[in-house]
Amino acid sequence: MESLRVLSPGGYTTVQDMGRIGYQEMGIPVTGVLDKFAPVFANLLVGNPENHAVLEITVIGPVLEVLSPIDVAVTGANIGITVNDRPMLEWQSIRLEKGDILSIQQVKQGCRAYLAVNGGIDVPKVMGSYSTYTGGRLGGFLGRILEKGDVLKSKDAKLLDKLRLVPEKMIPDYLSDKIIRAIPGPQDIFFDKGLELFFKSKFLVTPKANRMGYRLQGPCIEIRKGMPKSIVSESSMPGSVQIPADGQPIILLVEQTVGGYMKIATIISSDIPKVAQSIPGDTLRFEKIDLKTAHLLCNEQQNKIEQIKKLFD
């Protein structure tokens, strides 16, 4: 079913789901949504399973013409929404009729917003995923960001019988000064004073921040004397924090497969959304935790999702 026509594509808008797993050895990154919390809520708000394809919107949103009656929801970054110039709220379902104009504006806090449509965005599944990998022109909508004139389809699904919304207390804050929890390693042995400095310093998000990774600026994190400046390239995962030769951390995200710099720490999965919602000029501080605490925090985040599911049953 044709659902939306792109009148203006926004800054960087792509189709994403929870990722393309199992093809890294072929050089195909995981891709998928950067913030794995907000799009789950967007899908639940319109009656979809958690992993249906959504639009990931970066900084500036698209303007969309509605082609069929649909339910939508926008979650993630604090971003203005209007329907036919009427302001609408995020983190709740919105009924749209044919001919409506949905305008998603510019972020006020955070970096990325997520738009779900009942039934999910309907694009071909490639290697088990609907996600866009623009570097390989693979998946999503023709393997690229959206452009003016594109027509998006959604799968047939029933419209909601009542409004759905997320309680305000469960909506994340998108602050510009964030504490990011991380576990030391796997190559923390390459650092001594550098490891201590990393966990007590504040780092600035630079303009070199995208779906591949975020380059930070702060105190130089020095490698222990006598250690090599790099390692044999190995598989990487989202949340790995590399220290290159210049001593400035790089947070790897979803469009990387391997890396050859030492990884001083690994950001826990439940805090990667905080990185994804950071813009250049924001500051990050790292807090050292252990694996047991990381598991507890992951379970805590999953419990929030289960609470919302029960509200909508």
Helix H or strand E segment including 8: strand 2-8
**Which CATH code fits 2-170?**
2.60.120
Region 277-301 average pLDDT = 96
Q: Is the pLDDT of residue 230 over 80?
A: no
Structure pTM?
0.95
Which stretch of 106-110, 125-129, 237-241, 256-260 has the lowest confidence by average pLDDT? 256-260
Q: Is the pLDDT of residue 313 over 80?
A: no
Scan for tokens 């390693």, then name that residue.
185
**Distance of alpha carbon 224 from alpha carbon 133, whole angstroms:** 37
Residue 30's pLDDT band, with cuts at 50, 70 and 90, is very high
Residues 6+ apart with CB under 8 A from 63: 6, 7, 8, 10, 101, 102, 103, 104
Q: Is the pLDDT of residue 224 over 90?
A: no
Number of H helices, E strands in the chain: 4, 18
Length of the chain: 313
240-243 and 250-252 as β-strands: parallel, antiparallel, unpaired? Answer: antiparallel
Asked if 265 and 286 touch (Cβ cutoff 8 Å), the reply is yes
Query: Can you give the pLDDT at residue 31?
Result: 95
Asked if 255 and 147 touch (Cβ cutoff 8 Å), the reply is no
Q: Is the pLDDT of residue 101 over 80?
A: yes
Query: Can you give the pLDDT at residue 133?
Result: 96
**Distance of alpha carbon 4 from alpha carbon 69, whole angstroms:** 10
Q: What is the pLDDT of residues 120-149, one digit of tens each?
A: 999 999 999 999 999 999 999 999 999 999
Asked if 151 and 142 touch (Cβ cutoff 8 Å), the reply is no
Domain boundaries, the chain: 2-170, 177-305
Q: What is the pLDDT of residues 36-46, one digit of tens each?
A: 999 999 999 99
Region 27-53 average pLDDT = 95
Asked if 248 and 216 touch (Cβ cutoff 8 Å), the reply is yes
Region 220-233 average pLDDT = 82
Which stretch of 82-91, 166-175, 222-231 has the lowest confidence by average pLDDT? 222-231
Query: Can you give the pLDDT at residue 67?
Result: 98
Classify domain 177-305 at the CATH topology level. Answer: Cyclophilin (2.40.100)
Query: Can you give the pLDDT at residue 117?
Result: 98
Query: Can you give the pLDDT at residue 164?
Result: 95
Gyration radius (Cα) of the chain, Å:
20
Which of 16-30, 115-129, 296-310 has the largest mean confidence? Answer: 115-129
Query: Can you give the pLDDT at residue 231?
Result: 78
Q: Which amino acid is at 299?
A: N
The CA–CA distances, whole Å, from 258 to 28, 65, 232 equal 10, 40, 10
Region 63-89 average pLDDT = 97
More confident residue, 146 or 173: 146
Q: What does the mean pLDDT of the chain come to? A: 94
